[in-house]
Amino acid sequence: MAEKGDAAMDCLDARAAALVPWMIDKGLRSSGRQDLLNTFCEKLVEMGVPLWRFHLAQRAFHPKFGGIGYNWTRSDGISHEHYERRETPREAWLRSPFYQMLEQGLERLQFDLTSNVPPQFPLLEELKARGATEYFALTLRFTDDDAPVDPNAPPEGVLTSWTTDSPEGFSAEDRALIQSLYPILGLALKSMSNRQMASDLLQTYLGRDPGQRVLSGEFQRGSSSEIDAVIGLFDLKGFTSLAGELPGPELIEMLNDYFGIAVAATQAHGGNILKFLGDGMLVMFNLGSIEKDSQAALAASAELCRNIGLRNQERLAQGLPITDWTLALHAGPILYGNIGAENRLDFTVIGPAVNQTARIAGMHRSVGQNLIFSSVVQRAISSDAHDMVSLGRYMLRGVSEPIELYTIYRPNGVISDLTPYMDEAAE
């Protein structure tokens, strides 16, 4: 018996030895988690492990998604899904083996699906009905904190389940192989998820393009590049007075509602959100030429106006407060990069074009238009793309020469003042 056991361990060691260097290489190179897991499962099957289904759940550091799940089957390969953050947990999560493991602090859970399946786990009944014979799950935490875990807010780590349809189930050697490889798999996943986490957080807080630049190594104070781009200043009208009238949570909800529309329209046309400025935001369009930038900026403006108008009608119907908006656009050379102190930097834009955009934004009340843009933007747009109307030439503070301002005329009122709506809301 000892010789047979030794032979089994030699086989285990040989299989593990073949996979460990490959897993380490994948982790060091930070290739995609989906590719790693798909190939890992395929390699296990090639080595004789009767794996039929594999599932992995991992926490996500993302404002919208609380976690990500990967599902592999022998017939369909790998797929993934994001789990949106919810105030109330899903019933399927509350009745899952993973939830019980986190709640009870279990590192391993195993079920023989050929016998009676615990009724509290509908997933196991489903897997059994599909021909599965054995299910076991493993947890792996990436922290050394032994404090009790809240299953609805788990710490960093991974949860995995391994299912087979083999009549004999997994062999002891198969389970031992998987468990011996599990820490290496976790280390590779931690390496990849850390980079993804950094990317998600940087893009969320700095913007898509600045976040990518910082992650690629552009974080030295003073480092910058000169680019030609369209700069936009979006602002909500009358928000200061609303801030004194509305309760805090209602004010934040309203601000997020309008920002959500403005951000979606900007990003849909290739623009970047550089920063939020109280009840406004600074945006940039840098698509390769002033012509492309200007076309994208005006297309985004039209979409923004249309969607805010529709949302204001919905908010009125729901008895919610509404407000109006302004947007100023200008184009020119800007310095784009890191500015600040040694231990606190901001990736932003500076230069005369940025200052002039701010001066143009101060003209909304004088010209009575939501959208105004400079002649630099106007000249970059083909004459038949929009019905552009001159608002006149103005001397702006700090600008040596007069600048002509424009808006877009739309007979259906897409670009127009929302004073009638504001009056209705006041009543």
Tens digit of each residue's pLDDT (9 = 90 or more) over 63-96: 566 678 899 999 999 998 887 776 677 888 888 9
How many C-beta atoms lie closer than 10 Å to residue 322's C-beta?
21
Q: Quick check: 419 pLDDT over 50? A: no
pLDDT digits (tens, 9 = 90+) for 361-387: 999 988 989 999 999 999 998 767 678
How many C-beta atoms lie closer than 10 Å to residue 98's C-beta?
21
User: Residue 245 — very low, low, confident or very high, per pLDDT cuts 50/70/90?
Assistant: confident
Q: Quick check: 153 pLDDT over 80? A: no
pLDDT of residue 125: 93
> Higher-confidence residue: 281 or 410?
281
User: How much is the average pLDDT of 271-282?
Assistant: 91
User: Residue 1 — very low, low, confident or very high, per pLDDT cuts 50/70/90?
Assistant: very low
Q: Quick check: 38 pLDDT over 80? A: yes
Q: Quick check: 312 pLDDT over 70? A: yes
What share of the chain in percent tops pLDDT 90?
A: 46
Please tell me the least confidently modeled range out of 139-148, 164-173, 392-401. Answer: 139-148
The owner of tokens 């988690």 is 33
User: How much is the average pLDDT of 219-230?
Assistant: 78
pLDDT of residue 381: 87
Strands (DSSP E) contained in 145-209 are 157-164
pLDDT of residue 109: 94
Q: CB-side exposure of 386: number of CA atoms within 13 Å? A: 26
pLDDT of residue 222: 64
Q: Quick check: 178 pLDDT over 70? A: yes
pLDDT of residue 386: 76
Report how far residue 9's alpha carbon sits from residue 3's, in angstroms, rounded to the nearest whole number: 10
User: Residue 399 — very low, low, confident or very high, per pLDDT cuts 50/70/90?
Assistant: confident
User: How much is the average pLDDT of 319-343?
Assistant: 88
Report how far residue 287's alpha carbon sits from residue 136's, in angstroms, rounded to the nearest whole number: 50
The owner of tokens 């040694």 is 342
Residue 260 Cα distances to 246, 265, 273, 279, 421, angstroms: 19, 9, 11, 12, 20
Q: Please check whether residue 171 is in contact with residue 164, taking contact to mean a CB–CB distance below 8 angstroms.
A: no
Q: Quick check: 423 pLDDT over 70? A: no
Task: Identify the CA nearest to 103 among candidates 70, 77, 139.
Answer: 139
Q: Quick check: 289 pLDDT over 60? A: yes
pLDDT of residue 10: 52
Q: Which one-letter DSSP state was computed for residue 381?
A: S
| Token pair in block for residue 170 | 């997994």
pLDDT of residue 5: 42
pLDDT of residue 215: 64
> Higher-confidence residue: 317 or 145?
317
Q: Which one-letter DSSP state was computed for residue 105?
A: T
Q: What is the mean pLDDT of the chain?
A: 84
